[in-house]
Amino acid sequence: MNIIPTTIEGLVIIEPKIWKDDRGYFYESYNKKIFADAGIDAEFVQDNQSFSQKGTLRGLHGQADPFAQGKLVRVIQGKVIDVAVDIRKNSPTYGQHVSIELSAENFRMFWVPPGFLHGFVTLEDNTIFTYKVTNLYDKASEIGVIWNDADLNIDWGIEPEEAILSEKDKVLPSFKDFVSPF
């Protein structure tokens, strides 16, 4: 595996080694030792998966302590723009984000540790997005920021009117009204 640091400390891109032949492909999507050697010493407690049509935007979400989650995200089918926003108050990159294209074709994964908001938008129909988390979901610990916040200025790769949102995601606060628990 190739572990690639990003411009924000803690966020890393993981490129697995792919073995392809006329039967198809094989790759190791998780190896505790390799991840720990790269500084990702996480214990995963739950796996989640979503199926979405093109333009579905999920985020920007997170969970506060004591239910803060690290996420190891990847795409099984289709393509997304995946985004993580630093909400660690004492971080020099507070309020900054990293976005990455994840797809079934590029096999990339993205490690998003606790202290970040996370979201993604699907760029293809029938996209299957999956992620491992380090803590269980707790509704009372949900936090978030509106996806199209002007201060964050995230390029989602779609026109705003194309975004398909949940009712919950339509009413999240702006970044300047958000109080980070980290």
Percent of the chain whose pLDDT exceeds 70: 100
* Catalytic site residue from 25, 97, 131, 137: 131
pLDDT of residue 181: 95
pLDDT tens-digit map of 52-76: 999 999 999 999 999 999 999 999 9
Distance (Å) of CA 101 to CA 34, 37, 74, 122: 23, 25, 10, 10
Sort strands 71-77 and 109-112 into parallel, antiparallel or unpaired.
antiparallel
Confidence of residue 154 (pLDDT cuts 50, 70, 90): very high
pLDDT > 90: what percent of the chain? 100
Ramachandran category for residue 115: left, alpha or beta (phi over 0 → left; psi -120 to 50 → alpha): left
Residue-level pLDDT at 123: 98
Domain 44-170's class?
A: mainly beta
Please tell me the predicted confidence (pLDDT) of residue 89.
Answer: 96
Please identify which of the residues 61, 97, 118, 137 carries the catalytic annotation: 61
Q: Which tokens go with 145?
A: 């920021």
- Whether 131 is catalytic: yes
Give tens-digit pLDDT for 17-26.
Answer: 999 999 999 9
Q: Which two tokens stand for residue 80?
A: 């997304």
Give 100's contacts (C-beta < 8 A, 6+ positions apart): 6, 13, 81, 82, 108, 110
**61 catalytic per annotation:** yes
Instruction: Tell me the pTM.
Output: 0.96
CB-based contacts of 98, cutoff 8 Å, min separation 6: 6, 7, 8, 11, 83, 84
pLDDT value of position 148: 98
Q: Map out the domains of the chain as residue ranges.
A: 44-170
What's the confidence (pLDDT) of residue 48? 97
Q: What's the pLDDT at 113?
A: 97
What mean pLDDT is predicted for residues 75-94? 98
